Chain A
């Protein structure tokens, strides 16, 4: 019983990280039907961006945790700008009924990012120095010990989900996201600049991606070839959860995290495989996902 609760808690915490991987994908697909096959590589790029920022800040800022906060303050606005520029400069030109151009361009970006990181940082796995934050733990009521950082990531994932849902449902920007998603041409007739709206959606998605990458680097290690696996986890979470709902994406990510954790406990070689199988099972039994919300 105790072991089962432990697996469940660890799985949920892992799922929290996956939710952060997946929310950006969910947002971009929801607003412009764009499948970003470089999602995982952008997460890894975010982690390496933080590593580079910390290396630059290290001599100036003695306290590692303060350096982390400063690196985040540098990285997240940069990611916002990069996402906006990428969407307006490159990805907007690939949108359309045919999914091929956007897939080829993002897949090409994935190869470019992987090899550029390999050239700059070598293939060695690296992690982000947290000044002991990654080993600190708290004991929950009931006697289960959880890492402080995974718990913080989980709380952040829930907050990000709630924030996105609020943004989508209750703000003018969210209304324009929904409008261009429903019917781009009509939305443009009503005076929206769809290209700009798409740019803002990708900019927000990239802030989430950069945050996810930084947290991934703090929690474990990152290496330039990690991207594709992270993409697949993000994608599975979105599909399991169902389209059109960020809470669904969070639920899908949590289910994936728990499933993988159970798989790992049964046999370390089969953990990820087990997660993939649950994804495929959901696809067969409930292709619309567990919590679809079609507006």
Chain B
């Protein structure tokens, strides 16, 4: 092949260099829907934050209780989405951290006399701290085996706690630390905490995914080997995601049992927590921040109106998860995104000319 003649570059004096004319390029993150979503979100949070003052007195208590429950489901599902949808680590053992968060909160409040509401974030930190050594065991497995391996680890915690008589063994115990606090105050404080946790979870995950590290995480999800070849610390990143997901799951657990006042190993470490999270994320759309929000709302509505059907209801949830995975893999929000191009929490960078 003949070499193309290479003209020597004309060497120009620095002063003569003219920037080449080009169209101005801007990197944009937000979209019109995301600006609208932010405004609507701020309004919703403001409305929710003032609920104790405007809600009719006869409903306030049950509304707040409902909200605390949704918030727990939601935060837990959000963290499962981060782990599985973004981190590519499909776990069936996140209930380990839900239970550990709950029990750590209880031990701190009942045993050490810490204010139960302060014990909620502390319980989450305990769960996150425990997840670091656990990851050394869990990360020995990958793919489907990681899923069941994490389930075994959750069972180890369940059976272990069930054999500790100081926290009531298999039959569990009550959160006695809240005894002295008046019911209305307790409910309002739990509600406020739940709202704060839910907002913090969305904000934290969103900001994380928009950051440089979030970009690294998406690269790992798309192709682990290619990401590593570009200098991304794949192992460190996975560990960070695992620990953050444990923190969030612990937060949801601690919050749930402050609202519930009673804890037992079978309730705290039940695989149903993860089953419901999988359901919510798959229905809403995995690997999207909007997914768990939509999923949690759908789940809450189904739970509200159909849970009286007991086994048939659960059977239907299982079938719905199967059908969605087989025929509708992008979930409800994925469909909305395809149909109308809406993105409430855009994480991608767009080049605009």
Give residues in A with beta carbon < 8 Å to B: 29, 33-35, 37, 90, 93-94, 98-105, 107-112, 114-116, 118-119, 228, 231-232, 235-236, 239, 269-270, 272-273, 276-277, 279-280, 283-284, 287
Residues of chain B with a CB closer than 8 A to A98's CB? 88
Knowing A94-B326, A273-B163 touch, does A280 contact B152 (C-beta < 8 A)?
yes
Residue of A nearest to B318 (CB): A111
Knowing A100-B90, A107-B321 touch, does A115 contact B148 (C-beta < 8 A)?
no
- Which among B124-132, B137-145, B176-184, B198-206 touches the partner chain? B137-145
Residues of chain B with a CB closer than 8 A to A239's CB? 141, 145, 149
Inter-chain contact B275/A111, CB cutoff 8 Å: yes
Inter-chain contact A108/B140, CB cutoff 8 Å: no
CB distance from B94 to the nearest CB of A (A): 13
Interface positions of B from 138 to 196, Cβ below 8 Å from A? 140-141, 143-145, 147-149, 151-153, 155-156, 159-160, 162-163
Q: Is B92 an interface residue (CB 8 A)?
A: yes
Interface positions of B from 81 to 114, Cβ below 8 Å from A? 84, 88, 90, 92
Partner of A104, one of B137, B156, B321: B321
Pick the 5 closest A-B CB pairs, nearest first. Answer: A35-B144, A111-B318, A108-B322, A112-B318, A108-B321
Inter-chain contact B312/A119, CB cutoff 8 Å: yes
Q: Is B329 an interface residue (CB 8 A)?
A: yes
Inter-chain contact B141/A111, CB cutoff 8 Å: no
Inter-chain contact B159/A108, CB cutoff 8 Å: no
Inter-chain contact B325/A104, CB cutoff 8 Å: yes
A235 to B151 CA separation, bound complex (whole angstroms)? 11
CB distance from B88 to the nearest CB of A (A): 8
Residue of B nearest to A243 (CB): B145
Partner of B143, one of A99, A104, A109, A235: A99
Inter-chain contact B315/A103, CB cutoff 8 Å: no
Partner of A107, one of B141, B275, B311: B275
Knowing A107-B275, A232-B155 touch, does A33 contact B311 (C-beta < 8 A)?
no
Residues of chain A with a CB closer than 8 A to B232's CB? none
Residues of chain A with a CB closer than 8 A to B282's CB? 104
Residue of B nearest to A269 (CB): B163
Residues of chain B with a CB closer than 8 A to A231's CB? 148
Residue of B nearest to A274 (CB): B159
| Contact sample, A vs B, 17 pairs, CB 8 Å cutoff | A94-B326, A98-B88, A99-B143, A101-B325, A102-B144, A103-B144, A107-B321, A111-B314, A111-B315, A111-B317, A112-B319, A112-B322, A114-B314, A235-B152, A270-B163, A279-B152, A284-B136
Band of interface residues on B: 35 or more
Residues of chain B with a CB closer than 8 A to A34's CB? 144
A108 to B276 CA separation, bound complex (whole angstroms)? 11
Residues of chain A with a CB closer than 8 A to B88's CB? 98
Inter-chain contact B140/A284, CB cutoff 8 Å: yes
Inter-chain contact A37/B148, CB cutoff 8 Å: yes
Residues of chain A with a CB closer than 8 A to B149's CB? 235, 239, 283
A115 to B275 CA separation, bound complex (whole angstroms)? 14
Inter-chain contact B322/A109, CB cutoff 8 Å: yes
Inter-chain contact A283/B141, CB cutoff 8 Å: yes
Residues of chain A with a CB closer than 8 A to B317's CB? 111
Q: Is B217 an interface residue (CB 8 A)?
A: no
Knowing A37-B92, A273-B156 touch, does A112 contact B144 (C-beta < 8 A)?
no
A114 to B156 CA separation, bound complex (whole angstroms)? 22
Residues of chain A with a CB closer than 8 A to B329's CB? 101
Residues of chain A with a CB closer than 8 A to B268's CB? none
Partner of A115, one of B156, B163, B318: B318
A249 to B312 CA separation, bound complex (whole angstroms)? 37
Residues of chain A with a CB closer than 8 A to B160's CB? 273
The CB with the most chain B CB atoms within 10 A, among A33, A102, A105, is that of: A105
Residues of chain B with a CB closer than 8 A to A90's CB? 322, 326
Contact with A along B282-313 (1 / 0, CB 8 A): 10001000000000000000000000000110
Inter-chain contact A94/B325, CB cutoff 8 Å: yes
Inter-chain contact B326/A228, CB cutoff 8 Å: no
Residues of chain A with a CB closer than 8 A to B156's CB? 273, 276-277, 280
